[in-house]
Amino acid sequence: MTLFDGLYPFYPQQRKAAVFDISTVVVIAVFLTLAFSFLLIIAGIRGRARLYWTLRVLLSLSVGAMIVGNPVKQINETIDYNEHFPWNFGADYEHSYSEGLEKGLPSPILYVAEKFIRQSPCAVHRQYRIAGHYASAVLWVAFCTWIISNILLSMPVLVYGGYMLLVTGAFTTFSLLSFSTARSSPMCLIKIGSRTLHVAYGGSFWLVLAIGLLCFLVGTTIVAMHHLNLDLLKTFFDLHEDKAEEYQEMPEVFINPHFVNKGLFPSQHSEINSI
């Protein structure tokens, strides 16, 4: 054992395996900061509106965090290793593969990477590349519709906010369907020793699916409540709460008749005295 774990101190350190995605951590930190900031100001909201605002904000933030995540990478099937071979538009996959050959990467990594080059008999590079690209683009559209739905739900046009939530769920589900087209083609068997490597949908795929179904559920509920019980819907979105609290704070008004006669009607009071 040496001071630097067997490495010379003036050379780059040994590469470590990636434990988590930095971009995903940044997105989670941003949305958690917004959530905690809202929890700090929730004490200033009175009555039932406190619970309603909490449910609305946390639900909206969870949908936004799942949609944004990292749309370029969150749908793609990922293999955890030290090397990165990008296949997004604008990236040269063959060049990255050639660099891996020059560096002398381990044969299992090169064997898996070789299955996705354009000259491979598997012919899955183009399908995965296009499917991931359009899935990412549709997710960004879903993020835009989510922002519009939040704006509409803060205005007296709640039914249109429900419609935009349905549109958000539709775009989210369509992004998953567009990516699933890449799985329709038969995948070449990737054998490493006696084991066979199988690709499967990751946790992000199922999270996006759950958020899409949640948007459908919430949007359908808002539209149904608009036609069945509009007053309850307005109460949930704090459109009647202010008037109700004003009536609760001032149930009775006491007026001094002497002050009213003297201050508001001085001319009438002088006429009575003259008579």
Q: Give the pLDDT band of residue 82 (cuts 50, 70, 90).
A: low
Q: Could you count the other beta carbons within 10 Å of the beta carbon of residue 271?
A: 10
Cα–Cα nearest to 234, from 104, 47, 49: 49
Band of pLDDT at residue 110, cut at 50, 70 and 90:
confident
Burial code (b: 16+ CB inside 10 Å, e: under 16) for 236-263 equals bbbeebeeeeeeeeeeeeeeeeeeeeee
Q: What per-residue confidence (pLDDT) applies to 252?
A: 55
Q: What is the pTM of this model?
A: 0.61
The confidence score (pLDDT) of residue 60 equals 78
Could you tell me the CA-to-CA distances from 244 to 240, 247, 262 in Å, in that order? 6, 5, 33
Higher pLDDT, 118 or 168: 168
Tens digit of pLDDT for each residue in 142-199?
Answer: 989 989 998 888 888 889 999 999 999 999 999 888 888 766 666 677 777 788 777 7
- 176 vs 256, higher pLDDT: 176
- All residues at 6 or more sequence positions from 193 whose CB lies less than 8 Å from its CB, including other chains: none
Q: What is the DSSP letter of 267?
A: H
Helix axes 203-228, 49-68, angle to 10 degrees: 140
Give the count of beta carbons closer than 10 Å to the beta carbon of residue 30: 14
196 forms beta bridges with 191
- Provide φ and ψ at 191, rounded to 5°: -105, 130
Confidence of residue 61 (pLDDT cuts 50, 70, 90): confident
